[in-house]
Amino acid sequence: MIQYSILCKKSIWAIALVAMLFATPDAAAQTTSDACSYAVANQYTVNTSCTFETFNKPGTYNADYNPGTCGAGANDDAFGWFQATATSTTVTFDPLNNHDAVLHVFTGPCGGPYTQISCANAGGNGVNETVNLTTVIGTNYLIRTQRIASNNGMDGSICVYSPPPPPANDDPCAATVLTVNTSCSNTASTNIGATSTGGIPAPTCASYSGGDVWFSFVAPVNGVANIETTAGGLTDSGMELYTATACNGTFTSIECDNNDGSGNMSEILRTGLTSGQTYYIRLWGASGAAGTFSICVWATPPPANDDPCGATALTVNTTCSTTPGTNVGCSHNRRSRTYVRKLFRWRRVVLVRGTDQRHGEHLHNG
Mind listing the pLDDT tens digit for each residue in 289-330? Answer: 999 999 999 998 777 787 788 788 888 888 888 888 777 666
Burial string for 324-358 (b: 16+ CB within 10 Å, else e) reads eeeeebbbebeebeebbeebeeebeeeeeeeeeee
Q: What sign does the dihedral 227-233-237-239 (CA atoms) show? A: negative
CA separation for the pair 136, 116 (Å, rounded) = 14
Q: Tell me, yes or no, whether 22 lies in a domain.
A: no
CATH for 194: 2.60.120.380
Residue 365 in this model has a pLDDT that exceeds 60: no
Domain that holds residue 189: 172-298
Burial string for 209-221 (b: 16+ CB within 10 Å, else e) reads eebbbbbbbbbbb
pTM score of the predicted model: 0.60
| Number of structural domains the chain divides into | 3
Same domain, 134 and 197: no
Same domain, 149 and 180: no
Burial (CB < 10 A; 0-12, 13-18, 19+), residue 202, is middle
Higher pLDDT, 49 or 292: 292
For residue 126, the 8-state DSSP code is T
- For residue 42, is it left (φ>0), alpha (ψ between -120 and 50) or beta? alpha
Q: Do the Cβ atoms of 104 and 69 come closer than 8 Å? A: yes
The residue among 260, 301, 253, 246 whose CA lies nearest residue 281 is 253
The per-residue pLDDT for 323 is 81
Report the percentage of the chain scoring pLDDT > 70.
81
Same domain, 156 and 274: no
Q: Tell me, yes or no, whether 20 lies in a domain.
A: no
CA distances for 61 relative to 74, 109, 294, 309, angstroms: 12, 20, 52, 88
- Residues 124-175 have pLDDT tens digits of 899 999 999 999 999 999 999 999 999 999 999 999 999 888 999 999 999 9
Residue 349 in this model has a pLDDT that exceeds 50: no
- Residues 168-221 have pLDDT tens digits of 999 999 999 999 999 999 999 999 999 999 999 999 999 999 999 999 999 999
Least-confidence region, from 29-33, 52-56, 129-133 = 29-33
Under the banding of pLDDT at 50, 70 and 90, the label for residue 285 is: very high
Q: Do the Cβ atoms of 73 and 126 come closer than 8 Å? A: no
Same domain, 279 and 332: no
Under the banding of pLDDT at 50, 70 and 90, the label for residue 332 is: low
The per-residue pLDDT for 256 is 98
Q: Tell me, yes or no, whether 205 lies in a domain.
A: yes
Q: Do the Cβ atoms of 117 and 141 come closer than 8 Å? A: yes
Residue 359 in this model has a pLDDT that exceeds 90: no
Last residue of a domain, one of 104, 138, 161: 161
Q: Tell me, yes or no, whether 100 lies in a domain.
A: yes
Q: Do the Cβ atoms of 299 and 224 come closer than 8 Å? A: yes
